Amino acid sequence: MPTIRRLVLVLCFLAAAATAAPFPATSPSVMAEAEKEGKIIIYSTTDTVSASPLLKDFAALYPKLTVEYNDMNSTELYNRFISEAAAGSGSGDFLWSSAMDLQMKLANDGYAAEYDSPEAKGLPSWAVWKNQAFGTTYEPVVFIYNKRLLKPEEVPHSHAELVKLLKSNPERYKDKLTSYDPERAGVGFLFITQDASVDPNFKDTAQAYGSVGPKLYPSTGAMMEKVLSGEHLLGFNIIGSYAILKQKKDPSLGIVYPSDYTLVMSRIALVPKAAKHPNAGKVFLDYLLSARGQKIIADQSLLFSIRNDVEGATSAAGLAKELGQSLKYWVRPDIENRIRANEIRAMLGTNVVRIEPDHVVVENGAGKRGLPARQVFALTGYHPDYDFIESLGVQLDPETRKPALDPNSLESNVPGVHLAGVVIGGRHTGEIFIENGRFHGKQIIDALKA
């Protein structure tokens, strides 16, 4: 088993410059209990180098706590926690992993404690699951390459271009392509399964990868070193935040945000039910989600802040501004790719005039025409009826059009009026989808029963 790097920080002896951001909003009772516990054990996939600015600032804020920081890969983290939980011997107080699917499995399997973090309100609604699992970052998944060994015209800027490059000269790229080992790194398995969902030509893509014998590793660090040494030329499905940090030290590392689609990963945090120091775990969670912690995540750790109120290149807002439509949510890319592959015919800018027993009459810039149809699904559209909502007295943010509501009961500022579904996200329609919107009904029912 690979060695688990352990960083033990005695916070009362560390000095760190405090930022101008305010203290996290942890309740006094939780803080008091955490100080009695006096320690927190963190299991994390975040490299110690990237986590160090956060740990140093945490030290400045909470000198009565001692942090034991265990840095391991995602599969190690999951397996270690499960083994320790089964043995009942105690485990980490805070789990922070890039393997989103494994973290959500832990939460779904009942291992995560529920905590209504006062800082969760600063996150997009999709980043909070049942107050048990919390998205903390918004990191792009990228290509990397060696600038010294690849000419600019050879650099692929999309998955399709990467496939074309590998097919054009398989001998040159034999053993020169690298990526995560999905067997040894849970995040690698996550990325490749998302590729399979998003890439309309994934079968061809996978065959192209396989034809050159890609070399697989359990960590981004190992892949970057191999690319920079010239042992490999290209890497795909690389965590972009680590690549940016490495590029600052070695400019010969090239980074590409794929133009056809760029996956985005969020490190999921949770406090286990079996934590020995649960309140200390809550304090660290509040810190990580706070504006102060998120600003350090963006500016120093370069892990890309998930909060909408944190700006800059290494933030969700900055990434969306740079990449726009190439950022992919869960459902939209599948629809778009099926349209491009002519599996679904889309007639944009077209209005339905009337529906007949065997056809539909539509009208667009080219005039009216009839389309044969055996069955018609009358859909109401994607954007909510803001006029109707405002007529009820519900207050909407003038910019985002998000309604004023209680995040737990989903009751709006108008007593008795609860909201559910995509309307909660306002214009930020990518924040609400099946995976989180399906719980809104239960939240409302629970609130009404209380």
Secondary structure (3-state) at 305: strand
**DSSP H helical segments within 172-260, as ranges?**
186-198, 202-211, 220-229, 240-249
Q: Predicted confidence band at 318 (pLDDT cuts at 50, 70, 90)?
A: confident
Phi, psi of 292 (to 5 degrees): -65, -50
Reported as a single tens digit per residue, the pLDDT across 76-134 is 999 999 999 988 878 999 999 998 989 999 999 999 999 999 999 999 888 999 999 99
Average pLDDT of the segment spanning 369-390 = 81
Q: Predicted confidence band at 323 (pLDDT cuts at 50, 70, 90)?
A: low
The residue with tokens 């980043």 is: 127
AA letter at 64: K
Domains 5-137+266-314 and 139-264 share a fold: yes
Reported as a single tens digit per residue, the pLDDT across 139-188 is 999 999 999 999 989 999 999 999 999 999 999 999 999 999 998 888 89
Q: What percent of the chain has pLDDT over 70?
A: 88
Report the relative pairing of strands 367-372 and 264-265 from DSSP bridges.
Answer: unpaired
Reference 51, options 295, 302, 223; nearest CA is 302
Q: Predicted confidence band at 430 (pLDDT cuts at 50, 70, 90)?
A: low
User: What's the rounded Cα separation, in Å, for the pair 135 and 375?
Assistant: 41
Report the relative pairing of strands 5-10 and 234-239 from DSSP bridges.
Answer: unpaired
> Which sequence spans correspond to the domains of the chain?
5-137+266-314, 139-264, 386-449
Residue 69 burial (CB < 10 Å; 0-12/13-18/19+)?
buried
Q: Predicted confidence band at 1 (pLDDT cuts at 50, 70, 90)?
A: very low
Its pTM stands at 0.66
Secondary structure (3-state) at 393: coil
Query: What pLDDT score does 382 carry?
Result: 59
Q: Predicted confidence band at 260 (pLDDT cuts at 50, 70, 90)?
A: confident
Fold classification of 139-264 (topology level): D-Maltodextrin-Binding Protein; domain 2 (3.40.190)
Reported as a single tens digit per residue, the pLDDT across 280-293 is 999 999 999 999 99
Phi, psi of 346 (to 5 degrees): -110, 130
Identify the weakest region by mean pLDDT among 3-12, 56-65, 172-181, 356-365.
3-12
Q: Predicted confidence band at 7 (pLDDT cuts at 50, 70, 90)?
A: very low
First to last CA, the chain: 49
The packing angle between helices 74-87 and 100-108, to 10°, is 20
Query: What pLDDT score does 70 carry?
Result: 95
- Say which CATH superfamily domain 5-137+266-314 falls into: Periplasmic binding protein-like II (3.40.190.10)
User: What's the rounded Cα separation, in Å, for the pair 286 and 270?
Assistant: 11
Buried b (16+ CB within 10 A) or exposed e, 37-47: bebbbbbbbbb
- pLDDT above 90 (res 39): yes
Query: What pLDDT score does 11 carry?
Result: 33
Reported as a single tens digit per residue, the pLDDT across 40-56 is 999 999 999 999 999 99
Q: Is residue 209 a contact partner of residue 215, using CB atoms and an 8 Å limit?
A: no
User: What's the rounded Cα separation, in Å, for the pair 60 and 426?
Assistant: 38
Average pLDDT of the segment spanning 417-421 = 92
Query: What pLDDT score does 155 carry?
Result: 93
